[in-house]
Structure 1
Amino acid sequence: MKSALLIRNDISSECIRGVLYAEGEIFHTLERPWLNNRVNQSCISAGTYDVDFLPRSSSGKYRNVFCLRSVPGRSGILIHSGNTVNHSKGCLIIGKRRGVLAAKRAVLNSKTALYELVDLMAKESFVIHIYGDQQC
């Protein structure tokens, strides 16, 4: 089974950014800050999670995304496109690089990054290892 490694290395009260290593490629991630694992408001705890490909999210909002399984106290945690924490309800947003949009920390070229990750993982399940402060 394929695997990916996410190292959270920019942790602030605004957001958490990290570097995702997958199949020899590098991506950037953006998450909400740690808010005691509150549903739709907080990032998830560091750990190891199984990840499944979904042709469509359960809400139907997102296509060709990945879903993290067995996240303690949470469900519906996706890896999807977006730019700032306003585009996330506790999910991981993927991008090609870091930047700033409307004076907020962001990831950029997000749709391209998601397409590349889907291709790299061949629409198959994988394991993600997330490192960083245990409480994000």
Structure 2
Amino acid sequence: MSTKQILHLQRTYGAQGTNGALTYDGDLVCHTIELPWRNNLRRLSCIPVGTYKLEKRTYTRHGEQIGIPAVLGREAILIHAANDAQKELLGCIAPVTKLTAEGCGTESRKALEKLKALVYSLWDMGEEVFLHIK
């Protein structure tokens, strides 16, 4: 029987971007960068606060990634590598190793690998994984 596993994303909003700390079981997994909050506008805003079920999705551009399918009024939201939200994100969430400015960070691929290793191991155990954004 599967149980719910919840990743928590605590956000800090800024004019240039949204930064976050992603934790699981009270431990920091990575930091995150997103676009600034712009009323959930497609391709221009970070997604609204809430709890979302994560699913494995395959995309032409990014290959197999962690998807966030049930975002109201949005589609193809995923968690993928990026170091600059304004230049590289269209509403998705990017994990980063270190935050450097609003919506900017470093070593995104390394942070993504760490996050995927965690989420995929939970999925492999038959768990449902949710992202709680606050």
Give the TM interval when normalised to the shorter protein: 0.7 to 0.9
Task: Give 1 or 2: higher helix fraction.
Answer: 2
User: Which residue is equivalent to 1:79?
Assistant: 79
For residue 56 of structure 2, what is the amino acid of its counterpart? F
Alpha carbon RMSD of aligned pairs, Å? 1.6
Q: TM-score, normalised by structure 1?
A: 0.83
Of 39, 64, 85 in structure 2, the residue corresponding to residue 36 of structure 1 is: 39
Please show how residues 1-136 of structure 1 align to structure 2 within 5 Å.
Answer: 1-9=4-12, 11-22=13-24, 24-54=27-57, 56-57=58-59, 60-85=60-85, 86-100=87-101, 105-122=103-120, 124=123, 125-131=128-134
Identity percentage of aligned residues? 27
State whether residues 64 and 118 of structure 1, in contact with CA within 8 Å, keep that contact through their aligned partners in structure 2.
no
Mind listing any 5+ residue stretches in structure 1 that lack a counterpart? Answer: 132-136
Q: Which runs of 5+ in 2 are unaligned?
A: none
* Superposition TM-score, scaled by structure 2 size: 0.84
1:134 aligns with: none
Alpha-carbon distance, 1:35 to partner: 1.5
* Larger strand fraction of residues: 1
Q: 1:99–1:107: 8 Å Cα contact kept in structure 2?
A: yes
- Large movers: runs of 4+ above 4 Å: none
